[in-house]
Amino acid sequence: MKKALLIIGIVFVVLWSIIPIYWALNISLMYHFEVYSVPAHLFPEHPTLYNYLRSLGFSVFNPFTNRVDPPVGYPIREALINSFVVASMVSLITIAIATPAGYALGRYRTRHSGLLTALLLGSRTLPPVSILIPLYIIGLRYRLLGTTHGITVMHLALVLPLTTWILMGFFSTFPSEIEKAARVDGATRLQAIVRVVIPTALPAIVSAGLLSFLFSYNEYLFSWVFTSGTPAQTIQPTLASMWFMIGEINIMAAATILSLIVPVVISLYFQKYIIQVRLVDPYALAFE
Amino acid sequence: MVEVRLEHVTKIFGKTIAVNDLNLVVRDKEFFVLLGPSGCGKSTTLNIIAGLEKPTSGRVYFDDEDVTFLPPEERNIAMVFQSYALYPTMTAYDNIAFPLKIRRLLRDEIHKRVKEVAEMLHIEHLLDKKPHQMSGGERQRVALARAIVRQPRLFLMDEPLSNIDAKLRITARTELIRLQRKLGVTTIYVTHDQTEAFTMGHRIGVMFNGCLLQVGDPLEIFERPHNTVVAGFVGIPPMNFIEGHIAYDERLGKYYFKWNEIILEVGGDITEKIGGHGKTVIAGIRPQNLQVIKSESYSKIGIAFKAKVYTVERLGTESVITVDIDGELLRAVTPSELTLSPDEDVVVKIVNPQKVIFFNKNTGDLIT
Amino acid sequence: MAQPFPKRKLTDERFAIILLLPLIIALFALNLYPMAYSFWLSLTNTDVSRGISKFIGFINYYNLVFKDPYFWHSLRVSLQFTLEASLLAVALSLTFALILNESFKGRRIIRTIAILPWAFSTYAVASLARYLFARSYGLFSSLYVYLGLSDTPVEVVTSESAIHILALLFAWNYVPLGAFFLLAQLQIIPLDLYNQARIDGASAIRRLKVVTLPFLRRPIAIILLLFTVFSVVETTLIIGFTGGGPGKATQTLTYWAYAKTFMDYEYGYGAAISWFLILIAMALGVLYYYVLNKLKL
């Protein structure tokens, strides 16, 4: 009885998680004519990588029309590269700022640290729309629109409070005796951080960096407002504008699946850690 | 190496006073033990000496140098922590070498000195291992090696033996004593374990609630505790306290302490300090100074009284007998050969009555 | 009385401030200043399409509450979405956590699969959903045909169903977060408690009620808080899946603020709407803080 219930549960979890991905994958492996079959095919009849190759900038022979089709007119490859560059910069800068700040907040009780942590928490609850409007106007004024560094700065606004909070939580549970030992062994505050604390905390810092990377890579709203239709366009707004511009659903599906490769890889890394490190969300940690 | 002097040191965290107006001189080359229950402020005191905490007020001197505001890295001291605080990402070798690397010693010199201490502590085989690959005792020795390697002027140890198992702890204890005598470095050792304190320390300081209650050599602390708090904390099993009063025997012209059947002669000077006849006073008797005798083998010699056995705890060669006298429970230590059972009527005898000490009932202070 | 600290020496506090400085600057420039700016905007009639920008005080707020019928509509839609989405997400998180906490063969792989939606961008979730719920090539509309309920594919996303589907998508995206958070909590329940309950003869359901759920009460409250706040401010999902439609059926406050600003170019009015959102989010934060920390739930 219990066993049967468990099996039903497991099947449900798998179907729930897989079906939406499977359906897009299914369509992405079809030629255009098959997409509109009624009812829709549950498996592609002629599975092909045609859509993927065209998305990535290759000309592909289509056996059903006997034509060589040109690469899709959308800079998907460039968008992926842009996203990668932006997310890398965001995560590096975030780590550079959030590691010392998280350490300071987690380790030292200063007079204003209460105010600062409240501010971090507040920033996390802030509706993105509410700072999007003024930041867009600021972006217009300082010519940050349509640039890679512009969207990088915008993502910092969103990611910094989150990452600082995560690292603060980590450092507040970090055994202080290790740094005390380093201080007594003759290291200054800075030396203790650089030579002992950071190497020890590296897995957590890397995790926080990967989370910032993922956040930036996945962010849509700011990316759309700041980069759509420009050479700096990242992957999320590219998916969005394709939807409005081209009718080839199968190509779009392939582009969507391509955009999911990075998140899948990152989630593979995290499933090892998520239970121990509990990099869930600062908001949750705040109330623990 | 160095004499450590604390003058009126106070540390306040928010509303709690962790260390309260502490004055202490730790002599050069001395093995000094700070003894007290957890939360009494002994670790905070150690952290203040290390420079890891700044006192709220008061001064710390190393010899004549005022080090109150000197950061820990400039104090030339070494510390061993309860958790050992080994750097988890480094091998034992790198852990031991760390204080030398920070001081930018030459590579060959570092190598030589690490090898030397490793040999001294018999840990050559551990040098390539990382902390998580070692046992508790091995980590403890690596931590010790890291403290020794840079030849500091002061060792600070914060319960370094409390995380290793009981059997190993005894060998570690002797090893530590031997090492300290050999190196002759002033050592301040914090512990809550009185066996450690009594076996290791030249002198002991007993701390309670942030106050340093008494400083003295082990015998002094044991036999002449300054007040009931120290007396009750030190000694296993703890001291018996009996509240009685002073009576004057006109016929003999002597003062006596009286409680129930117990009558003890008290010196005139002590009586004077309490205020004479009829005054209440607390007598402190160590369980070791009480002897339990079976009723039938009792002969009327010395000071003795009747009692009933309450519980018997066998501890190998000795037993702790708790006896009941009119609802008051007293503990006595007897050899285990004596077989007693609860509710048996016995006679309790005070051996060495001169070792009974008296405390002021109101202040709890020792009357001398 | 603390004794004076020598001036040139570095205290812990001074050191901490140096480490915090970059963050403080960034927070001011990128969060606090924009918020203040947005508040100022909400007091103007800035409209780029008409090229005007004048200080008008609280008129935007007045119009919003008393004149604009869409405000109350959007608020109602927001409320419905938040309620449905967060409750559904919490219920499923709990279910998933309990399933994934059981030991069975291949648990690692199932966990790896279950975590996937967490890593996906909300926009990608909306995209995937568009394929799934599309009329012609969607799985669900075709299922009607496969199951013989209809001859031709049916429209699944209607003005009635759209909001429920959005709630479902929100849950799909966020359930892994909640489930793994609860899973972590489940790991710290002492095994002895289960053994004790078993010795006392408690059935599996009773053990769940007596041992497991009391431990999860607070974590469940925490993820409920998370999901309410996240769903109140959710914009991307609506932009990506329905664009506020069909009609105005899924026009939540956040979507409306976005549309007013970036489609109608009424910056001042959009800012005013977004300030309502900020107030709601803050109120939720304070409410939950009170519930969790003061009432010691």
Per-chain mean pLDDT for chain C: 85
Give the C-alpha separation, B294 to B276, whole Å.
Answer: 36
Q: Which residue has the tokens 């005070």?
A: B350
The answer to whether B63 and B75 have CB atoms below 8 angstroms apart is no
Please tell me which of the candidates B79, B82, B83 has its beta carbon nearest to residue A184: B79
Looking at per-residue pLDDT, the higher value among B230 and C51 belongs to B230
In chain B, what are the helix, strand and coil shares in percent, each to the nearest 5? 30, 35, 35
Q: What's the CATH code, domain B243-360? A: 2.40.50.100
Q: CA of B367, closest CA in chain A: separation in Å?
A: 43
CB-CB under 8 Å, B52 with A180:
yes
pLDDT value of position B293 = 84
The answer to whether C265 and C49 have CB atoms below 8 angstroms apart is yes
pLDDT value of position A282 = 44
Tell me the CA distances in angstroms from C267 to A143, A157, B174, C75, C264, one per residue in order. 19, 20, 78, 19, 8
Please tell me which of the candidates C1, C2, C6 has its beta carbon nearest to residue B69: C6
| Closest among A198, A162, A120, A222 to C24, alpha carbons compared | A120
pLDDT value of position B202 = 93
Looking at per-residue pLDDT, the higher value among C64 and A85 belongs to A85
In this prediction, residues A4-11 reach a mean pLDDT of 91
Chain A residues whose CB is inside 8 A of the B43 CB are none
pLDDT value of position C8 = 58
Give the C-alpha separation, B64 to B2, whole Å.
Answer: 10
Q: Tokens standing for B363?
A: 């202040």
Give the C-alpha separation, B267 to B286, whole Å.
Answer: 19
Which of A51-60, A191-200, B299-308 has the lowest average pLDDT?
B299-308
CATH class of A76-234+260-286: mainly alpha
Peptide bond into A39 cis (omega under 30): yes
Cα–chain-centroid distance for residue B89?
35
Percent of chain C with pLDDT over 90: 18
CB-CB under 8 Å, B71 with C9:
yes
Quick check: helix, strand or coil at residue B326? Answer: coil
Q: CA of B155, closest CA in chain C: separation in Å?
A: 24
Residue ranges making up the domain that contains C96: 38-122+161-294
CB-CB under 8 Å, B69 with C5:
yes
Looking at per-residue pLDDT, the higher value among C154 and C106 belongs to C106
- Domain assignment of residue C87, yes or no: yes
Count Cα atoms within 13 angstroms, Cβ side, for A180.
Answer: 25
In this prediction, residues A57-86 reach a mean pLDDT of 87
pLDDT tens per residue across span C20-32? 899 999 988 888 8
> Over 70: is that where the pLDDT of A280 sits?
no
Element counts in chain B: helices (H) and strands (E) = 9, 20
- Best of A13, A158, A176 to substitute, by most chain C Cβ atoms within 10 angstroms, is A13
Please tell me which of the candidates B72, B76, B82 has its beta carbon nearest to residue A183: B72
- CB-based contacts of C200, cutoff 8 Å, min separation 6: none
Query: Which amino acid, one-letter code, is at C263?
Result: M
Cα–chain-centroid distance for residue C221?
14
CB-CB under 8 Å, C2 with B71:
no
H-run or E-run covering B184: none
CB-CB under 8 Å, B71 with C3:
no
Please tell me which of the candidates B55, B57, B71 has its beta carbon nearest to residue C1: B57
CB-CB under 8 Å, B77 with A184:
yes
Looking at per-residue pLDDT, the higher value among A11 and C196 belongs to A11
pLDDT tens per residue across span C241-282? 888 778 788 888 889 888 888 888 888 888 888 888 888 888
Give the C-alpha separation, C6 to B128, whole Å.
Answer: 43
**Domain map (residue ranges) of chain B:** 4-233, 243-360
Q: What's the CATH code, domain B4-233? A: 3.40.50.300
Under the banding of pLDDT at 50, 70 and 90, the label for residue A234 is very high
Phi, psi of C203 (to 5 degrees): -75, 170
Q: Tokens standing for B194?
A: 């009185």
| Closest among B362, B208, B206 to B274, alpha carbons compared | B362
- CB-based contacts of B344, cutoff 8 Å, min separation 6: B294, B308, B309
Quick check: helix, strand or coil at residue A26? Answer: helix
> Over 50: is that where the pLDDT of C137 sits?
yes
pLDDT tens per residue across span B125-153? 999 999 989 988 899 999 999 999 988 99
Quick check: helix, strand or coil at residue B87? Answer: coil
pLDDT value of position A283 = 44
The one-digit pLDDT tens for each residue of chain B (368 residues) are: 789 999 999 999 888 899 999 999 999 999 999 999 988 899 999 999 999 988 999 999 999 999 998 889 889 999 999 888 899 889 999 999 999 999 888 999 999 999 999 998 889 999 999 998 998 889 999 999 999 998 899 999 999 888 888 888 888 888 899 989 999 999 999 999 988 999 999 999 999 999 999 999 999 999 889 989 999 888 888 899 988 888 888 888 788 888 877 788 877 677 777 777 778 888 899 999 888 888 777 666 667 788 888 988 888 888 899 998 888 889 999 887 778 888 888 888 888 888 888 888 888 888 87
Chain A residues whose CB is inside 8 A of the C264 CB are none
pLDDT value of position C106 = 86
What does the DSSP assignment read for A91-131?
Answer: HHHHHHHHHHHHHHHHH---TTHHHHHHHHHHHHHS-HHHH
Contacts 24+ apart (CB under 8 A), B102-111: B102/A185, B102/A186, B102/A187, B102/A191, B102/A195, B102/B73, B103/A186, B103/B150
> Over 70: is that where the pLDDT of C3 sits?
no
CATH number of the domain to which C105 belongs: 1.10.3720.10
pLDDT value of position A223 = 93
Answer whether C244 touches A (CB < 8 Å): no
| Closest among B31, B45, B2 to B187, alpha carbons compared | B31
Please tell me which of the candidates C1, C2, C9 has its beta carbon nearest to residue B69: C9
pLDDT value of position C90 = 96
> Over 60: is that where the pLDDT of A240 sits?
yes
pLDDT tens per residue across span A99-129? 999 999 888 876 777 788 778 877 777 788 8
**Which of the listed ranges A10-24, C126-140, C155-169, C173-187 does the model predict with the highest average pLDDT?**
A10-24
Q: Tokens standing for A86?
A: 């932006």
Tell me the CA distances in angstroms from A199 to A156, A196, B102, C71, one per residue in order. 24, 6, 16, 53
**Domain map (residue ranges) of chain A:** 76-234+260-286
pLDDT value of position A110 = 67
In this prediction, residues C150-155 reach a mean pLDDT of 78
Q: CA of B100, closest CA in chain A: separation in Å?
A: 8
Looking at per-residue pLDDT, the higher value among A138 and C170 belongs to C170
Cα–chain-centroid distance for residue A237?
14
What does the DSSP assignment read for A113-179?
Answer: HHHHHHHHHHHHHS-HHHHHHHHHHHHHHTT-TT-HHHHHHHHHHHHHHHHHHHHHHHHHHS-HHHH
Number of independent structural domains in chain C: 1
Looking at per-residue pLDDT, the higher value among B300 and C164 belongs to C164
Cβ pairs A/C, distance under 8 A: 292
Query: Rounded to two decimals, what is the model's pTM?
Result: 0.84
Quick check: helix, strand or coil at residue A59? Answer: coil
pLDDT value of position A148 = 92
Which value, in Å, is the radius of gyration of the alpha carbons in chain B? 25
In this prediction, residues A225-250 reach a mean pLDDT of 85
Angle CA(C40)–CA(C46)–CA(C47) in degrees, nearest 5? 155
Quick check: helix, strand or coil at residue B345? Answer: strand
- Domain assignment of residue C77, yes or no: yes
- Domain assignment of residue C129, yes or no: no
- Domain assignment of residue C140, yes or no: no
Closest-approach residue (CA) in chain C for B59? C3
> Over 90: is that where the pLDDT of A171 sits?
no
pLDDT tens per residue across span A126-143? 788 888 888 888 888 888
CB-CB under 8 Å, C26 with A130:
no
Tell me the CA distances in angstroms from C250 to A260, B61, C24, C166, C269, one per residue in order. 26, 72, 38, 8, 20
